[in-house]
Amino acid sequence: MYKSVDGGVTWFPASKGYTGERINDIAIDPENPALVYAVGQAGTFKSYDGGENWIGLSNGPLRGKSWQQSIQIHPENPNIVYSGGKTSGTIYKSTNGGQDWVELYRFVDIPETGEPETVYQVRAIDFPVQS
């Protein structure tokens, strides 16, 4: 992982403590840019110093979960964080800065019917952020 503080003119390594390979999403607290979350192939990580050092968040239902696709910090409360998984199809919520997570929503698996005439439609919906 690399970081730029000059609009992308120069870059420097910023991945001490990050043990993954691929980053899928990064969330930066708009009120405190030193607070950063990253999710990817190795799970969910948190930085208190603008991404220079990372701590793995493997508590609760996110333990051992990889391929998290998205992360979002609540705009009014940085202790509330949402994370969504690709392989699990599940959205998790933390109310204590990523220390503990609860399952908020799980997408239903589409069954295989073996009937070529059967068509399923899957639609993503936006839902309001709830505190």
What is the Cα–Cα distance from 27 to 80, expressed in whole angstroms? Answer: 12
Digit-coded pLDDT (tens) for 36-95: 998 877 778 899 999 889 988 865 455 555 566 788 898 889 999 988 876 667 788 899
What is the Cα–Cα distance from 82 to 71, expressed in whole angstroms? Answer: 6
> Which pLDDT score, from 0 to 100, does residue 124 have?
47
* H helices present in 17-115, as ranges: none
Domains of the chain in start order, with CATH, are 12-106 (2.40.10.500)
> Which pLDDT score, from 0 to 100, does residue 118 have?
56
Q: Within 10 A of 65 (CB to CB), how many other CB atoms are there?
A: 21
Digit-coded pLDDT (tens) for 15-45: 788 776 778 889 999 899 999 998 877 778 8
3-class secondary-structure state, position 62: helix
Digit-coded pLDDT (tens) for 104-129: 877 665 555 666 555 544 444 444 55
3-class secondary-structure state, position 80: coil
User: Which residue is it, tokens 């800065």?
Assistant: 97
> Which pLDDT score, from 0 to 100, does residue 114 have?
62
> Which pLDDT score, from 0 to 100, does residue 32 have?
94
> Which pLDDT score, from 0 to 100, does residue 116 have?
56
CA-based nearest residue to 94, from 70, 123, 72, 126: 72
What is the Cα–Cα distance from 30 to 13, expressed in whole angstroms? Answer: 22
> Which pLDDT score, from 0 to 100, does residue 10 have?
92
> Which pLDDT score, from 0 to 100, does residue 121 have?
46
